Structure 1
Amino acid sequence: MDIRLLTALDAKSYWDLRLEALKNNPEAFSSSYEEAIRRESPVENVLKNLSTEGTFTFGAFNDKELIGVVTLVQESTLKLHHRANIFAMYVCPKFRGLGVGKALISTVINHAKSIESLEKINLEVITTNDNARHLYINMGFKTYGIEKGALKINNDYYDSEYMELFLKK
């Protein structure tokens, strides 16, 4: 397995994996598959996101196949510039339990530590996603809040758990 920062050449693979993620795990993302497939120029939007300053999307590859992704976005305003957020974490189901998620989160944490102005990373995880929650806890993230009914899919509600990791003590 190889993990690296995604480039413009990875935009189409990223978009395909994003659609898979939205279809397989709709409860894990605030975006929906139905909304995603209706977007205009989605690959061009991915290209723009991959080149946005302060946004870092890492991909895990098995040979040349993109099997997992995670995005770190540093806050841009002066008062929030010490924070970053993790978004869009996903690993293909057939590669789960093999350390791909841990490798992606480790890469993000190490990258965040290399940015002098960053002091903490925040993330949000659905409370029923035990595997992701345990991964984040094992990587040092601590819960700072729960939002009841954060997502509603059809008539089912999902709670969000908000977690943080301080990079500098």
Structure 2
Amino acid sequence: MADIETRRLTIEDAAACAYLREEALLSAPDYFAVTYEEEVVEGDVMSLIQQRLLWRECVTIGGFYNGVLAGTAMLLKKPVRKMQHKADIETMYVAEDFRRSGIGKSVMNAILYQAKIWDIEQLQLSVIKDNVVAKSFYQSFGFETYGIEKAALKYKGKYWDEEHMVLFLTS
């Protein structure tokens, strides 16, 4: 039986996190706002990951499958006082070999737990409109669409619409 562990990533996890981020950008380039070239080739991905892992207003959750980092998501608090009841979920990704293993669900549950610790009232995220699998996953947790931004992303003459989703954590 598989052993699934979900926890906050630390600076010691930076190499595994950078590896997974590179995989995400290469295997699903249409689903991220940043390109592989600008984050990995033109930048220092290891430094970037290390900085993100140290941000005060951010928690990166990792899902491990038999000790291997298989999925991540980042919860980012809004820095402005009047928006501190909200947070964004960003850069969620589960490695292809680990999809349907429960990693994504474990990571999302850990994100929801952290949001409650921070007294977050609403979680927001954006997903490419055509990414039916991701939208279905988010909907299974209760996220609802509140708007569509047409041509939100553009790269090499191609446009992508983003669907903005929200989950209210208070009744």
**TM-score under structure 1 normalisation?**
0.94
Q: Which amino acid aligns with 2:149?
A: E
Q: How does 1:104-123 map to 2 (within 5 A)?
A: 104-116=107-119, 118-123=120-125
Q: CA RMSD in A?
A: 1.3
Q: Which amino acid aligns with 1:76?
A: P
The CA distance in 2 between the partners of 1:36 and 1:115, in whole Å, is: 29
How many angstroms does 1:156 deviate by? 2.9
Contact 2:64–2:103 at 8 Å: present in 1 too?
Answer: no
The CA distance in 2 between the partners of 1:107 and 1:78, in whole Å, is: 24
1:136 matches 2:138: yes
Runs of 4+ in 1 over 4 A off after TM superposition: none
SS at match of 1:164: strand
Q: Which residue in the other structure is 1:149 paired with?
A: 151
How many angstroms does 1:92 deviate by? 0.5
Question: Of the candidates 73, 84, 89, which is equivalent to residue 86 of structure 1?
Answer: 89
- Structure 1: runs of 5+ lacking an equivalent: none
Question: Of the candidates 104, 117, 139, which is equivalent to residue 101 of structure 1?
Answer: 104
Identity %: 36
The CA distance in 1 between the partners of 2:33 and 2:148, in whole Å, is: 16
- Structure 2: runs of 5+ lacking an equivalent: none
SS at match of 1:53: coil
How many angstroms does 1:40 deviate by? 4.1
- How many pairs does the alignment contain? 168
How many angstroms does 1:39 deviate by? 4.1
The CA distance in 1 between the partners of 2:10 and 2:44, in whole Å, is: 17
SS at match of 2:81: coil
**TM-score under structure 2 normalisation?**
0.93
